[in-house]
Structure 1
Amino acid sequence: MNATTFGLDIAKRTFQMYWIEAETGEVVNRRFTKQQLIEFLGQRAASRVALEACGSAHWWARKIAALGHQVVLLHARFIRPFVQNNKTDATDARAIWTAAQQPGMRSVAPKTADQQAMLGLHRMRSLLVKSRTMQVNQLRGLLYEFGVTLRAGRLAGLAEVRERLGEIEQIVPGILFCALRDQLQFIERIEADIRKLERQIVAWQRQEAACRRLSAIPGIGPLTATALVATIGDPAAFKSGRELAAYLGLVPRQSGTGGKVRLGGISKRGDSYIRMLLIHGARAVLFKSRSKEAWCEQLSRRRPANVVAVALASKMARTAWSLLANNRTYQKDYALQKTA
């Protein structure tokens, strides 16, 4: 007999679940509290539980799997077409159940606690970097209002501010100068916090074999390697490297009718943070590496630099999937060696 499939809509305090009893055919759409849901699933035979990949979904996936059930995480975009009538918890649970029944429905790989923790460090670092940029730009703007211009670049600009503090004190009114000096100290504290998070990220990269393998790919450093491993989760969730590249929004948009398909710019779907890291890494290879691949050189002669960078970022993502899925180490000119 086939296992029962549950459609679970999760929230902070109330949880709605939809299923059909296999023995009686009874349709059930029931609300639970958190503890009631855990106790109910703990008493049920091994079943298939589908839920939306949203906040706390990965924790619930680990919890439900520990109770002996198979967990299916679905992207919200694939569930929405099955919502009937008004959007309520009951209709959402039924939509999740219906989406899970569709053949070929793609799912999201549940993340481990360590992978979630690593992504948390990345999010914290990203916010600190954004805050630092805002603080530095404001510092430049406020000084410019009093005729003080600084060298371009964050490091050069901050170094110049520290060198010219005495001069700036004579130019800027005292009430503002004290606040600017405090702001400069605040930027230094942000930078110290960023360095601390980066040390934690690098430490995790060194202890994870998958991260070390990805770090061997040109253009992928500790930040990109750890973010990729934590985001991908189980590489078996993707059929190919191209599917991973599509998941990260690094492939062209497609639109067509009447049998004619048109390709546009990249779709920019998925995690913009991972896409940004890959594209920045690709730019570093294009403009700083002395040993670029031949196809990069050839493409650079025909296409703009931005197009080449995105193409290289897409290839880096496909290479990363291949290494993870096949448990291989990076080899330069692997395709040429294979055909030789």
Structure 2
Amino acid sequence: MGAGPYGLSVAAHALAAGLEARVFGQPMRAWEWHMPRGMLLKSEPDASHLGDPDRRYGLDAFRRYSYGEPIPLETFVAYGKWFREQTVRDALDESTVTEIGTEGGLYTVALSSGARVRARTVVLALGFLPFAYRPTALAELPPEVSSHSSDHHDLSAFAGKHVAVLGAGQSALETATLLVEAGAKPRIVARTRSLVWNATPSGQRSIISRTLAPRSGLGSGWRSLVWAEMPGTVRYLPKGARNHIVRTTLGPAGSWWLRERFDGAVPVTLGVRLAGADHRGGVRLHLTTGQGKVETLETEHVIAATGYQVDVGRIDILDPNVRRRIRSAGPTPRLSRTFETPMTGLYLVGLAAAATFGPAMRFVHGCDFAARRVTRGLVSQVRKSA
């Protein structure tokens, strides 16, 4: 379920393993329609490959980029669709999945076309959209004046408007920059006292630098190397340690290439917490400073670029009984070494798997590892039922 980077990668591996597999969803839909036009990927080119068994269809097979060269969103979407043509082909059905339940020992998948499919196994590759986090302080605002950053592709609709962007990560900083370039009047509002920017990457590094801080798909450093290239090890750590790693690895920061466009163009209000909001002709955000003083910021719209919080209870295409069973151990269940949930034959990949396998699952870089592990589990399931 899902035809983004993780869904397509799992399908490519499953089909190559000789399994009868079908993929449901529009290829790269979330990337194409829920990220802002003009966006550039923060991930390096060598960390932006989808996964196929022989590693023949990486990004560099579609278009080569040098280290430190940002990839346009449109190019990455086109790459994903090309990858689908090379690997998944006729196994893709662009119907929307409306419900997943169980019947007679099999999973039943209801489609928007009216068809129903039965399967021994189901892989949920739902990406980030089901888990968009909106601060509770915005709950009383109507949707026409309050949204999440993933709600927008075309920011030109905000031309001439004052927009408060909540957050201090790449999504917030780039959204604000693109809003300025679309003719809007954005302002960053964040708890942090200062913005963090990634350093300009260097293609030439000394032997000492490469030894002390090896480069990986999640940046430089030995810890990043382990989380990026050996995510299976994260699963064996205590839950508290896993949560800490996911929460603190690659925290909120802006890309080096964005800073010149942002500085001087976007005003910022930092060191404040959002205490509440109301809508009386316009939006009023009530902010608490570090000294406990309450200030009010008036704007016409607020965009929460506040990231994503995984809770499998929010996967609404799952039948309530299925949802209840996989959530019984908490909002982010610990998965098996092949990404299987507490329900036999039901797998979770991508962001939803980060609590088990670490921060690599938050990024495209984790596709290949997840696809290989899941396919191993799928093959095992077929053999057991044969």
TM bracket (short chain)? under 0.3
Higher relative contact order (CA 8 A, sep 6+): 2
The structure having more radius of gyration, on CA atoms, is: 1
- By percentage of residues, which structure has more helix? 1
Q: How does the TM-score come out when normalised to structure 2?
A: 0.21
Structure with the higher fraction of residues in strand conformation = 2
